[in-house]
Amino acid sequence: MKDKPKTVVSIFQIYLGKYLFGFVKWFLLLCCTKQNNMAEKTITPLVEQVEKAMDGRTQRWLSLEAKIPESELSRKMNGVSEFTDEEIARINEALKSKIKK
């Protein structure tokens, strides 16, 4: 008779360990996902910010308004070269946006 309670306790411990492990795994997955999402939201490439602020307008329009040669703006939008602070200020003025480097 003393043997049966030990088996019941051991089966209970196995189920408890299984569920506890599952909960810990789920919790860690949730924490890692939140950290990744937070990092993605804070870092937005400059080109994506400009494209979003353009709101359907063309690069040609932006080049005329921001007084940046169209070929140079195209190279910068494709990531070949980087925008200067002065150019970002002119783009912000033309698009009435708050683009940050």
Collapse the DSSP code of 9 into the 3-class scheme (helix H, G, I; strand E, B; otherwise coil) and give the result: helix
pLDDT tens-digit profile of 36-71?
Answer: 555 444 556 889 999 999 999 999 999 999 999 999
Q: Mapping DSSP to helix (H, G, I), strand (E, B) and coil, where does residue 20 land?
A: helix
Check if the beta carbon of residue 85 is closer than 8 Å to that of residue 96. Answer: no
Give the span between the Cα atoms of 42 and 36, in whole angstroms. Answer: 10
CA atoms within 13 A on the CB side of 37: 6
Residues 29 and 54 sit within 8 Å (Cβ to Cβ): no
Query: Is residue 100 very low, low, confident or very high in pLDDT (cuts 50, 70, 90)?
Result: confident
String of DSSP letters for 55-74: TT--HHHHHHHHT--HHHHH
Single pTM value for the model: 0.57
Q: What's the pLDDT at 53?
A: 92
